[in-house]
Structure 1
């Protein structure tokens, strides 16, 4: 009877430990799961940054002058133009 109690406590401890280890993983903060479908005026954009490599989709996050973040597809020509404009204006 004692052996069964010890085994039960070990199984309970292993279950609690595994749930703690799974929830403490550090992952990316900003990922794009859906892209903004329309064009954005480049004069409204203050900066941009790319999503983390661990995100399911590669995306660019445009930061507006009002502080809003917009997820866009970085492969679109108008997005490349905005990123180039921001890069050139920062020098």
Structure 2
């Protein structure tokens, strides 16, 4: 009877420790899972950044002038145009 209690206590302790270790893992903060499907006006975009390389899908986050973050596919021609325009306006 005592060995089953000790075994159950060990299993419970292991489960609690595993959940704490998993929740404190270091991973990417911003990842794109569904990119924005429509074109955006480049006059509305103030800056951009790329998602972390550990994300499952490559993405770019466009930041609008009112502070919204919009995930887009960085390989699309209109996104490349917007990024070039932002880069030129910052110089």
Fold conserved (TM > 0.5)? yes
Q: Which residue of 2 aligns with 1:21?
A: 21
TM-score (ref. length: structure 1) = 0.89
The alpha carbon displacement at 1:36 in A equals 1.1
Question: Is 1:40 aligned to residue 15 of structure 2?
Answer: no
How far did 1:22 drift?
Answer: 1.4
Q: TM-score, normalised by structure 2?
A: 0.89
Q: Unmatched 5+ residue regions in structure 2?
A: none
Between Structure 1 and Structure 2, how many residues are aligned?
91
1:8 maps to what in 2? 8
Please give the alpha-carbon distance, in whole angstroms, between the structure 2 residues aligned to 1:33 and 1:21. 25
5+ unaligned residues in a row in structure 1: which ranges?
none
